[in-house]
Amino acid sequence: MQKICLLGATGSIGRSTLDVIAQYPDQFELVSVAANASVERMAEICRTFKPKRAVMGSAQARDELAALCADLDTQFEYGSAAMESIASDDCDQVMAAIMGFAGLRPTLAGIRAGKRVLLANKESLVTAGRLFMEEVAKHNVTLMPIDSEHNAIFQCLPQNEAGATKRDVDKILLTASGGPFRTFSPEQMRSVTPAQACAHPNWSMGQKISVDSASLMNKGLELIEACWLFDVTPADVQVVVHPESIVHSMVSFKDGSVIAQMGNPDMKIPIAYGMTWPARIETGVEALDFFKVAQLNFEAPDLERFPNLKLASDAWYLGGTAMACLNAANEVAVDAFLKEQISFLDIARLNQRVLERSEIKAVNDLEAVFAADQASRLLAQQLIASEFA
Ligand SMILES: NC(=O)C1=CN([C@@H]2O[C@H](COP(=O)(O)OP(=O)(O)OC[C@H]3O[C@@H](n4cnc5c(N)ncnc54)[C@H](OP(=O)(O)O)[C@@H]3O)[C@@H](O)[C@H]2O)C=CC1
Ligand SMILES: CC(=O)[C@@H](O)[C@H](O)COP(=O)(O)O
Ligand SMILES: [Mn+2]
């Protein structure tokens, strides 16, 4: 029996993870859960899975949850320290599926406690990459990429007992759907709404990552994520726009072979793979029918219409805190766009301004990452108030 701690239980990845757990009650036990403010959904989860511990983002949310679940034996808690505590408590695997930078501390707690970490929360790796990977190595942890592209790359790479290797690899081909505005002109993109941006053509996901997909910042974050996970640089990764999201990524080898991982776009596949690797289990996801798929298309990304992808590559080469600064700016920008305070095109503009104006420092400890995150959030908010409102 594998005991699972699920961080971000009420979200889209949380739902797919619970779906896999529910299909295999003899293999997986949900022992702890965390979320921010979705009390009613968390109450449903607690009633169904009866975890030992449930953590919310605030005392108020915890109290509301406790009141709704007064008849359960679950221990109800709140705050960042409690999230770190469940990630390092009695469990075998930690699903890191909190949205954004808020996921960093609990994910690191799982790593430091030696758990198998299932990494969906790309922002934690993007912002603290080198320190994050050093902790993975130090604690000899199995880090399973859950992000569909990185899970695909992991599946395509030669593997040993410890994970994926780079043996004979020439290039990583990171696929991108292109998002809902792939064919839009800059003029058309000027007035798009949050609802349009969240309507991903192929995947059903949370709002923040959906907007990131629409602005190609998701691909920028994923480029950096791939560099840290597979110990490569952006020069080793080619972003390939593939509108159907059937090929989840590919690896090109020195002999000219290209290996692709394909499947219907459903996160239960990478989640189940992460939970059972090196074994595989049935997920209930329909196998691909190539006669229905009929056509797969590929094209180059347009960096002029989607500058976020280039900004992410720039941040990687700037190094140090640059990636934390860019991520912080983007989290503020997406939130402001969803609240209709700035336009869609302002997201990349704001990201660029913050990256240009931030003082990039070396990352010698976690405090440097948190300081950069805070300073860039503040700068982004000031810029919104003064120049973007
Ligand atoms: N959805 C997908 O298919 C994919 C997602 N990912 C990554 O996985 C992560 C989660 O994405 P997704 O599930 O779509 O997002 P959702 O917005 O659907 O869910 C986010 C989850 O994080 C919780 N959360 C948000 N802020 C905090 C906080 N400060 N403290 C504790 N919990 C918090 C939310 O709780 P509450 O509901 O209470 O707000 C919710 O449970 C992101 O990093 C995303 O990039 C990666 C690949 C695919
Ligand atoms: C499911 C997943 O992993 C998302 O990151 C998804 O890939 C978004 O797709 P695009 O960013 O390519 O539109
Ligand atoms: Mn992805």
Average pLDDT over residues 13-32: 98
274 is in an annotated binding site: no
Domain encompassing residue 22: 2-141
75 found inside a domain = yes
Residue with tokens 């029918």: 289
Distance 152 CA to ligand 2 centre (A): 12
225 found inside a domain = no
378 found inside a domain = yes
Ligand nearest to the backbone CA of 247? 2
284 is in an annotated binding site: no
pTM more than 0.90:
yes
Extract the runs of DSSP E, i.e. beta strands, from the chain.
2-7, 28-34, 53-56, 75-78, 93-96, 116-119, 143-145, 159-160, 163-164, 169-176, 237-241, 247-253, 258-262
195 band by pLDDT with thresholds 50, 70 and 90: very high
The count of other CB atoms within 10 Å of the CB of residue 182 is 18
157 found inside a domain = no
**327 CB under 6 A from ligand 1?**
no
Query: Tokens at residue 146, please?
Result: 């859950």
Choose which residue among 53, 56, 99 to substitute to test ligand 1 binding: the one with the highest number of ligand atoms within 8 A of its C-beta. 99
pLDDT of residue 389 exceeding 90: no
Encode pLDDT of 315-324 as tens digits.
999 999 999 9
- We report the CATH number of the domain holding residue 357 as 1.10.1740.10
Average pLDDT over residues 288-298: 96
344 found inside a domain = yes
Average pLDDT over residues 335-346: 98
- We report the CATH number of the domain holding residue 111 as 3.40.50.720
* Cβ contacts of 252 within 8 Å, gap of 6 or more: 169, 170, 171, 172, 173, 258
Quote the pLDDT of residue 299: 98
Which is the closest atom of ligand 2 to the Cα of 203? 1
Which is the closest atom of ligand 1 to the Cα of 83? 31
Virtual torsion, Cα 252, 253, 259, 265, nearest 10 deg: -40
158 found inside a domain = no
Burial of 95 (0-12, 13-18, 19+ CB in 10 A): buried
16 is in an annotated binding site: no
**12 CB under 6 A from ligand 2?**
no
In the three-class reduction of DSSP (H, G, I as helix; E, B as strand; rest coil), residue 6 is classed as strand
Encode pLDDT of 48-107 as tens digits.
999 999 999 999 999 999 999 999 999 999 999 999 999 999 999 999 999 999 999 999
- Say how far apart CA 293 and CA 312 lie, in whole Å: 32
44 is in an annotated binding site: no
181 found inside a domain = no
pLDDT of residue 373 exceeding 80: yes
**74 CB under 6 A from ligand 2?**
no
pLDDT of residue 388 exceeding 90: no
Q: Report in angstroms the alpha-carbon separations of 35 from 79, 168, 314, 353.
A: 10, 41, 33, 32
Which has the minimum average pLDDT: 2-6, 164-168, 317-321, 346-350?
Answer: 164-168
Average pLDDT over residues 102-121: 98
Quote the pLDDT of residue 83: 98
* Cβ contacts of 356 within 8 Å, gap of 6 or more: none
Closest residue by Cα to residue 9 from 90, 92, 89, 106: 106
Helix (H) or strand (E) holding 44: helix 39-49
**213 CB under 6 A from ligand 2?**
yes
**14 CB under 6 A from ligand 1?**
yes
Q: Tell me which of 141, 162, 178 is where a domain ends.
A: 141
Encode pLDDT of 345-367 as tens digits.
999 999 999 999 999 999 999 99
8 is in an annotated binding site: no
Which is the closest atom of ligand 2 to the Cα of 219? 11
- Number of folded domains that form the chain: 2
The count of other CB atoms within 10 Å of the CB of residue 205 is 18
Q: Tell me which of 117, 141, 165 is where a domain ends.
A: 141
The count of other CB atoms within 10 Å of the CB of residue 63 is 14
The count of other CB atoms within 10 Å of the CB of residue 269 is 23
Encode pLDDT of 229-280 as tens digits.
999 999 999 999 999 999 999 999 999 999 999 999 999 999 999 999 999 9
